[in-house]
Amino acid sequence: MSENVAIIGIGHSKFGTRKDVNLPELAWEAIKPALDSANVEQKDIDFYVVGNAGMWSSEAAVPSLMAEYADLAPKGSMRVEAACASGNAAIRVGYTAIKSGGADIVLVLGIEKMQESPNPTIIELIGRFGSYFWEFENFGLTFPGYYAMYGTAYMAKYGATEEDYAKVAVKNHYYGAKNPYAQFRKEIDIDTVLKSPYIAWPFKLFDCSPITDGAAAVILASEEFAKDVEDKIWILSQGVGTGTANLSRRDDFTTLPSASYAAEQAYKKAGIDLDAPWKYLDGANVHDCFTAPEIIAYEDCRFCKRGEGVELIREEQTYIGGRIPVNIDGGLKAKGHPIGATGVSQAVEAYKQLLSQAEKGRQADIKNGRWLTHNVGGTGHFTYVTIYGLEKR
């Protein structure tokens, strides 16, 4: 595996409640601008990968639908599912296809039409990403409850408060309001979060990411094909970790070991110092499905020491101008979380930030030319940490 891999084009739909389009039309909203920005046509695509959980949607065979609607037949394709990390898992498949020499140009699409099912059904289906018979069936846990265990454990161990968690939501809505593709484009304050109804203590409504329809796409290319492309970024490294689905087998609810492992692998492969990796990065997108997991991600990704993640949000060190800007596209919390599209959307954000193409008020200062994405399926069941850069290694 020797080929370097670049992102040479991106596309992104508006996230939110998308009853105005069917699934193929939503996919085309991301695919068309990705093809255009990469200056390629459907005939140039060697292989395409779709990240899609899809249990709540009327359509299951999404790659076949796209072959028809987007004129991609008879190219080879694959549908990838890794819970909420499906998008980055799809990028992993496209990346390895090029690295192995099996393709020169790969389209990666992440897509979800979650709101085709009623909310109770969606919540049940997401809950099945846990250990079904032990946790979901016997104890009725859904994902707010799963992650509430982490939120309360972090509070008990490190002294975090509900107000600290609310500060994550305030930050992400602040930047989401500046992102034209975000589901929620309205700033909020601490009181709005604290006065919202409880979902699973300590999480209230505004501590939780929404149910979202949306699509995002990237065009991956081999080094040979990408050499003459002006606007491109490189996949410098990717770490992948897997965790147990059964919470009773975990001994620490203030970390996701699969995320720590994936981050360590990604840093080592990219030649980044494990002691202070934030010094090598211009920013990051982490998996803030709830507010507490964003703070835990600061620590799993080594942006600070254990127990210091809460200090980063208190001191606004994850805003632009701080130690490391995090989720300045709004994150899952405000941009939205269409499960299969989230990891690809993070890659789109890395591309825009590194090439200084982000919207006014949410463009980071690019000095190091590296951006990190952290995409988690379940409570660490699957974790992908990817580092993107302006210069290949």
Residues 6 or more apart whose Cβ sits within 8 Å of residue 360:
178
Name the maximum alpha-carbon separation found in the chain.
Answer: 57
CB of 82 within 8 A of CB of 382? Answer: yes
Report angle CA 117, 122, 128 to the nearest 5 degrees. Answer: 140
Tokens, residue 385: 């940490």
- Percent of the chain as helix, strand, coil, to the nearest 5: 40, 20, 40
The answer for 316, left when phi > 0, alpha when psi is -120 to 50, beta otherwise, is left
Tokens, residue 111: 């897509």
The answer for 159, left when phi > 0, alpha when psi is -120 to 50, beta otherwise, is left
Residue of 189, 294, 215 lying closest to 28 (CA atoms): 215
**Residue given tokens 């130690």 in the structure block:** 323
CB of 166 within 8 A of CB of 290? Answer: no
Residues 6 or more apart whose Cβ sits within 8 Å of residue 98:
3, 5, 104, 106, 220, 221, 222
CB of 27 within 8 A of CB of 79? Answer: no
Which entry of 12, 84, 287, 304 is annotated as an active-site residue?
84
DSSP-based three-state secondary structure for 393: coil
Q: Which residues pair with 220 in a beta bridge?
A: 7, 106
One-letter amino acid at 202 equals P
The half-sphere exposure of 17 on its side-chain side, counting CA atoms within 13 A, is 3
User: Is 287 a known active-site residue?
Assistant: no
Which entry of 12, 173, 337, 381 is annotated as an active-site residue?
337
CB of 238 within 8 A of CB of 95? Answer: yes
Tell how many helices (H) and how many strands (E) occur in the chain. Answer: 14, 11
Residues 6 or more apart whose Cβ sits within 8 Å of residue 188:
169, 170, 173, 206
DSSP labels, 125-161? HHHTTS-IIIIIIHH---HHHHHHHHHHHHHHHH---
Active site positions, annotated: 84, 337
